[in-house]
Amino acid sequence: MDNPTMARLLDETADLLEIDGGDGFRIRSYRRAAEAAEQTTVDLMEASSDTARLLEIPGIGKGMASNLQAIAETGTMPLRDELLAKYGAGVLELLKLPGMGPKTIALLWSAAQVGSIDQLAEAIEAGKLAGLPRMGEKQVEKLRKGIEDYRRSSGRYRIDVAQEAAQRLIAYLNAFPGGDTGGFERVVSAGSLRRGRETVGDLDLLVTGPACEPAHTAKAVEYVAAYPGIHDIIAKGENKVSFNLDNGLQVDVRLLPTASYGAALQYFTGSKAHSVTLRQRALKMGYTLSEWALARLDDGSTVAAASEEEVYAALGLDWIPPELRENLGEIEAAAKHALPKLIEKKDLRGDLHMHTNASDGHNTIREMAEAAVKVGYEYIAITDHSKNLAMTNGLDERRALEHIQRIHEVDAQMGGRIRVFAGIEVDILGDGALDLDDEVLAQMDVVIASVHTRFEQSREEMTARVLRAIENPNVRILGHPTGRLLLRREPFALDMGAVLRRAAELGVAVEHNAAPERLDLNDRDLRLAKELGCNIVINSDSHDARNLGKMDYGVKQLRRAWLEGGDVLNTLSAKEMLAALRPQA
């Protein structure tokens, strides 16, 4: 039970209270407590036994301290249980639909007893929403599409959600006492998580060590099956335990002898297409490849098993990074010693997209700069929102000019420890115009143009809109180009080829937004961007200093796209990076 999980339970309780028509002050207190739980550096589980320590956290009063203690002790709290019993857990799932908030759910519940996605779909088909407030034809159609999108993505989990679940499981498994049979030597993630897929359908963990020898696995299997986060056991065998976690994520844990570690890791990492092609290559060479070993067909003797490098080398191949294992030419390249030297996180020297408390961020310019120094960056660009996004406190022309001055002041105050560039994330309006005057944009070091509204436009309209925006001579970067939110909002319709070709001609860089809810551009479009000669940048889109440097999931996507350090502009020095961007107007 970590801080984000406790924060989620408090936030869900606020949602349930709002659906129930609860007191506004009480709802806000839960929201504030959820935000406090999310942002505090105090380990809430550790502090739960000390009420005074909990009360020191801003936003946590006596009542919320009691709630946190109840969550720490039981994993839930009475009010949440009471409201879930009244409305059912399905109302929380309804909140995952785009545009669906507590007030809309309250309306649907009172008017049509809708308390789940399935019930909403039935009500739409039966015409039960007709005539309800705020439920015109457009809104009903939007809900219908939202249900379709959600069902299409159900059973998938974002890479960061899967990674967090894996880390908790790995910590638990590493604590296996072992005893007379010995313990676990290695506990690692495999499958699509190791390959860096943006979403995963299940989680594969490989465990090796003395306790995983065939004669000793019984105790190890029972320990795995006793993991506290298990909702239900699917299967339990001699060397495999499959189960669902409380959030529905399926986990497969394989236990194999130390001697098979390399073969097993290769086998369970996949992808299926990569593995099939690799096994076919093995057969042609007189071998058979399994999770136990690469072995000779004639006598079954082991050729390689202890490490992946040995397995690939025995097949006449260079070791292939997991992110490339999708059967997209990586095996042929490995045979020719022609694999790319993939970009690594340590190659990054700066971040060109972040927000401060001037718009919707949590920290000051100076705090973001100091955090970037700790990450090891040589430069950053402060790119707060522009005025069209009123909900984010976006900057108008006057405030933008004042903000530029403040950024320059912080840049000077940093004394050369880091460069702090003045920038903005300007909004692309429905017709492709930008929402700040060119005279102001011309004074920015970095102008990122992004679409944040009117996602429903046709492919032709959206393509023309984006093309007009990047034609503006002040635009240097196209931000999160498809506007998607993973498992929540589909990419808007766009002729990506046309946009990337024009961006390459103009020198406008395209962004890979490394925020795990976006990861936009995806790996396929990043490959296309490289093929078309586009400049590419990777940015965190941080709204909090604690998220600076969290580029891991984004770097995975760059690697999946076969990108090398030289393909990404923010691997360059500050001077080189600015020179490589589109020349300023």
Q: What one-character-per-residue DSSP string does 455-478 give?
A: TT--HHHHHHHHHHHHHSTT--EE
CB contact at 8 A, 199 and 157: yes
Q: Answer yes or no: is 208 within a domain.
A: yes
Helices (H), ranges, 270-419: 272-284, 308-314, 330-335, 365-375, 397-413
577: left (phi over 0), alpha (psi -120 to 50) or beta: alpha
Q: Answer yes or no: is 585 within a domain.
A: no
Helix (H) or strand (E) holding 50: none
Q: Answer yes or no: is 35 within a domain.
A: yes
Token readout for 331 is: 């095996």
Q: Answer yes or no: is 541 within a domain.
A: yes
Q: Which pLDDT value is given to residue 149?
A: 75
Does residue 422 share a domain with residue 528?
yes
Q: Which pLDDT value is given to residue 99?
A: 74
3-state class (DSSP) for residue 168 = helix
- CATH number, domain containing residue 252: 3.30.460.10
Q: Which pLDDT value is given to residue 104?
A: 87
Rounded to whole angstroms, the Cα distance separating 186 from 177 reads 14
The domain boundary residue, chosen from 88, 120, 153: 153
Does residue 462 share a domain with residue 553?
yes
Does residue 143 share a domain with residue 24?
yes
Does residue 163 share a domain with residue 300?
no
Which pairing describes strands 202-208 and 250-256: parallel, antiparallel, or unpaired? parallel
Does residue 137 share a domain with residue 279?
no
Q: Which pLDDT value is given to residue 184?
A: 93
Rounded to whole angstroms, the Cα distance separating 488 from 234 reads 28
Q: What one-character-per-residue DSSP string does 307-321 give?
A: -HHHHHHHTT-----
Q: Which pLDDT value is given to residue 127?
A: 85
Helices (H) then strands (E): counts for the chain: 25, 17
Show the domain range for 521: 345-580
Considering only CA atoms, which of 544, 485, 546, 474 is closest in space to residue 516? 485
Does residue 79 share a domain with residue 182?
no
CB contact at 8 A, 221 and 238: yes
Cα–Cα distances in Å, from 339 out to 44, 60, 280, 329, 555?
46, 53, 20, 9, 17
Does residue 286 share a domain with residue 351?
no
The residue assigned the tokens 């050729």 is 303
Please give the DSSP secondary-structure letter assigned to residue 490: P
Rounded to whole angstroms, the Cα distance separating 275 from 424 reads 45
- CATH number, domain containing residue 97: 1.10.150.110
Considering only CA atoms, which of 188, 178, 253, 265 is closest in space to residue 216? 178
Non-local (6+) Cβ contacts of 333 within 8 A are 339, 340
CB contact at 8 A, 574 and 347: no
Rounded to whole angstroms, the Cα distance separating 195 from 322 reads 5
Count of domains observed in the chain: 4
Q: What one-character-per-residue DSSP string does 227-256 give?
A: -TTEEEEEEE-SSEEEEEETTS-EEEEEEE
Q: Answer yes or no: is 388 within a domain.
A: yes
Does residue 570 share a domain with residue 518?
yes
- CATH number, domain containing residue 285: 3.30.210.10
Does residue 245 share a domain with residue 285?
no
CB contact at 8 A, 290 and 302: no
- CATH number, domain containing residue 443: 3.20.20.140
The domain boundary residue, chosen from 153, 177, 196: 153
Does residue 197 share a domain with residue 70?
no
The domain boundary residue, chosen from 335, 359, 381: 335
Does residue 535 share a domain with residue 393?
yes
What is the Rg, in whole angstroms, of the alpha carbon atoms belonging to the chain?
26
Rounded to whole angstroms, the Cα distance separating 258 from 273 reads 26
Does residue 440 share a domain with residue 572?
yes
CA angle 346, 384, 466 (to 5 degrees): 90
Walk along the chain (585 residues) in steps of 10 and give the mean pLDDT of each run.
84 92 91 85 86 91 93 90 89 83 87 86 84 82 82 81 95 87 90 97 95 90 93 91 89 96 97 94 97 96 97 98 95 97 98 96 96 97 93 92 98 97 97 96 97 93 98 98 90 94 97 96 94 97 91 97 97 97 85
Q: Answer yes or no: is 340 within a domain.
A: no
Rounded to whole angstroms, the Cα distance separating 381 from 411 reads 10
Q: Answer yes or no: is 310 within a domain.
A: yes
pTM of the model: 0.80
